[in-house]
Amino acid sequence: MEIEEFFRMDRWPNSYCPGCGNGIVMNCMYRALQDIVNLDKLVMVGGIGCSARIDGYVFSDAIHTTHGRAIGFATGIKLGNPELDVIVIGGDGDIGAIGGNHLINAARRNMDLLVICVNNWIYGMTGGQISPASPHECLSTTTPAGNPEYAFEFVKLVAECGANYAVRWSITHPVQLIKGIRTAYQKKGFRFVEVLSLCPTGFGRNNKLNEPAELYKFLKEKTYIMRDENRIAVNLDGKFPLGEFANRDRESYIESLKKIRG
């Protein structure tokens, strides 16, 4: 499938700031899905936020919901018509802060959804406030002297809750990210792809990383590809491990429902 068939080109140019990681996320999504997706069966679901807005650029049915509730809406869509492929996309604020409880319970249920969480460590759309995923001591509009909190690692949370697939990559690792999204799309149950990304406007500006290239380099230095024995490692030296945190084939919610109902 050509890129013009995958995205609504009439909505171009998109609304993202120069250097925003969402362009790489969209590119990787297209490359991961181009030859396996059936756009007539796909529903994109987003809450509110810059990355959640990606739902409206894909040439499929889409629903732009309220902040934090995308997984709830997506669950309803999947239960209403289990034949549909449902992808939720949104930011760390949308999916992990206000939407955190939906995330936990959808993973516990092993609900048949693919969730792509674009974790740019900040509330981008509203001007750069910290989110639960913001790194310790980072500067933001709400923590001008440094963030006293430690970052929530959503990928580990959902892996522990029972998700069939949980993977974290960064936009600095596009080849692996493409593979991760592709693998996730083809599995059943709850699948979670966390993408570490960049917000030059909300995060970079406050952290003296003014150029997107500087931020990109910083992000690369803040991550490492984990080996199996590091699977449960907590932020070694403040660095974020990348790779698969869960990959299993536990019976999904829809499979269980079909079995129970006969």
Ligand X SMILES: Cc1ncc(C[n+]2csc(CCOP(=O)(O)OP(=O)(O)O)c2C)c(N)n1
* Site residues, ligand X (CB under 6 A): 48-51, 67, 90-94, 118, 120, 122-126, 131, 199
Nearer to ligand X by Cβ, of 49 and 241: the residue is 49
Residue 200 C-beta: closest distance to ligand X, Å:
12
Nearer to ligand X by Cβ, of 64 and 250: the residue is 64
Residue 41 C-beta: closest distance to ligand X, Å:
26
Residue 44 C-beta: closest distance to ligand X, Å:
15
Nearer to ligand X by Cβ, of 34 and 141: the residue is 141
Q: Which residue is nearest to ligand X (CB)?
A: 91
Residue 160 C-beta: closest distance to ligand X, Å:
22
Nearer to ligand X by Cβ, of 110 and 120: the residue is 120
Residue 152 C-beta: closest distance to ligand X, Å:
12
Nearer to ligand X by Cβ, of 34 and 126: the residue is 126
DSSP string, the chain: --HHHHB-GGG-S-SPPTT-THHHHHHHHHHHHTTT--TTTEEEEE-SSTGGGGGGTBSSEEEE--TT-HHHHHHHHHHH-TTSEEEEEEEHIIIIITTHHHHHHHHHHT-SEEEEEEE-SSBTTTT-B--TTSPTT---SS-TT---S----HHHHHHHHT-SEEEEEETT-HHHHHHHHHHHHHS-SEEEEEEE---IIIIIGGGT--SHHHHHHHHHHTEEEPPGGGTT---GGGPEEEEEEEE--PPPHHHHHHHHH-
